[in-house]
């Protein structure tokens, strides 16, 4: 049964550079992925079906409109391949800045591409990902990369595989569009050059102030992560509200995840891939 992990995405830094006429924003972002993720399974079937289960399934409001089924429909329109039985194990919080929906769509495309002998670097597959959302091309590749444009212009960069990471979501969903609308319009400059951890630490997430205005608890989460022993970087990811921290070792990450376990909060220790 073709199974793909929809790895959670982190924005180790996210610089908003300009507002565009098409309603999107010009970004520079350091994309990284962690081991933790949703799980998508795709099987050829006589009739199409889609089921969601897992800890955050209820937050998706049923099996109707979903980035997984949208990805499957776009794949079928382009490449054919017949009907599929698709399941989604929803382990990641929804609308949370770690690209859960984007990662699910990308995992669906990877599974279908594998089943139907479509190369992962097929430009038509990339075009489907691009049309599904700004983060879907990055999730399709699933590698550490510098993203430009609205996030779809990708250049691979050396990552930090195995580095310990903690993800914490304070249980509030925030709208990506609303957070972008709250950006103050000030271009604070590009991401630097050098080793990933150095340029990430020297960078910032320009969406953190507008996200904090929507969900003030984000400031508390970042401060709590930054105060943990062994922390190398603590920041909000994407448009929030999930925050992450990178740690010297797994033991420090596990201790931090335990220290940040509060009622209504989701926290996990994982690793960069
Ligand atoms: C902020 C980021 C950073 O990686 O991540 P998330 O918070 O979603 O995880 C992404 O840029 C989000 O990408 P994605 O979630 O795919 O967004 P899309 O569906 O393309 O766009 C949703 C809305 O966000 C705004 N948007 C998105 C991307 C961008 N570069 N500029 C924008 O202004 C637009 O208002 C758009 O209508
Ligand atoms: N499979 C999916 N998983 C998560 N969200 C989905 C999915 N399909 C559609 N969505 C919708 O996409 C929106 C963005 O979700 P998500 O990708 O989790 O957030 P973000 O892009 O902020 O990380 C949510 O509001 C949700 O309703």
d(CA 273, CA 254): 17
Give the tokens for residue 80.
């054919």
Give residue limits of the domains in the chain: 3-156, 164-271
pLDDT, tens digit, 9 for 90 and up, residues 187-203: 999 999 999 999 999 99
pLDDT at 161: 98
Residue nearest ligand 1's atom 9 by CA = 97
Overall pTM surpassing 0.90 (yes/no): yes
Q: Does the annotation list 164 as a binding residue?
A: no
Read off the pLDDT of each residue in 129-145 and give the average, rounded to a whole number.
98
- What is the dotted CATH code of the domain comprising 3-156? 3.30.230.10
For residue 30, the CA-to-ligand 1 centroid distance in Å is 14
Q: Which residues form the catalytic set?
A: 9, 135
Q: Which two tokens stand for residue 176?
A: 């990506």
The reported pLDDT for the residue numbered 38 is 98
Q: Which atom of ligand 2 is nearest to the CA of 61?
A: 27
pLDDT(243) > 90: yes
CATH class of the region 164-271: alpha beta
Place of tokens 């996030």: 151
ipTM for the predicted complex:
0.95
The answer on whether 234 is annotated among ligand-binding residues is no
What six digits make up the tokens of 142?
Answer: 């699933």
- 136, 131, 149: which is closest to 25 by C-alpha? 149
**Ligand 1 geometric centre to CA of 176 (Å):** 6
- pLDDT band of 1, cuts 50, 70, 90: confident
Average pLDDT over residues 140-164: 98
At residue 173, what are phi and psi to the nearest 5 degrees? -85, 140
């Amino acid at each position: 049964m073709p199974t793909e992990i929809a790895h959670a995405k982190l924005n180790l830094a996210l610089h908003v550079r300009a507002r565009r006429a098409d309603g999107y924003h010009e970004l520079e972002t350091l994309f990284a992925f962690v081991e933790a993720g949703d799980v998508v399974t795709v099987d050829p079937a006589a009739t199409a079906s889609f089921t969601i289960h897992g800890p955050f399934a209820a937050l998706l409001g049923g099996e109707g409109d979903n980035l997984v089924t949208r990805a499957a429909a776009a794949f079928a329109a382009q490449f054919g391949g017949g009907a599929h039985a698709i399941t989604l194990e929803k382990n990641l919080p929804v609308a949370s800045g770690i690209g859960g929906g984007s990662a699910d769509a990308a995992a669906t495309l990877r599974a279908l591409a594998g089943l139907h002998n479509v190369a992962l670097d097929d430009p038509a597959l990339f075009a489907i990902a691009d049309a599904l959302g700004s983060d879907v091309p990055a999730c399709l590749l699933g590698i550490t990369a510098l993203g430009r444009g609205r996030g779809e212009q990708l250049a691979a960069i050396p990552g930090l595989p195995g580095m310990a990471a903690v993800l914490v979501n304070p249980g509030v969903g925030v709208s990506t569009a609303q957070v972008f609308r709250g950006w103050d319009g000030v271009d604070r400059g590009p991401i630097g050059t050098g080793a990933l951890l150095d340029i990430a630490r020297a960078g910032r997430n320009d969406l953190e102030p507008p996200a904090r205005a929507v969900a003030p608890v984000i400031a508390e989460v970042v401060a709590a992560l930054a105060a943990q022993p062994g922390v190398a970087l603590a920041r909000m990811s994407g448009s929030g509200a999930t925050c992450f921290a990178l740690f010297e070792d797994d033991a420090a990450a596990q201790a931090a995840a335990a220290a940040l376990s509060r009622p209504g909060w989701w926290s996990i220790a994982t690793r960069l891939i």
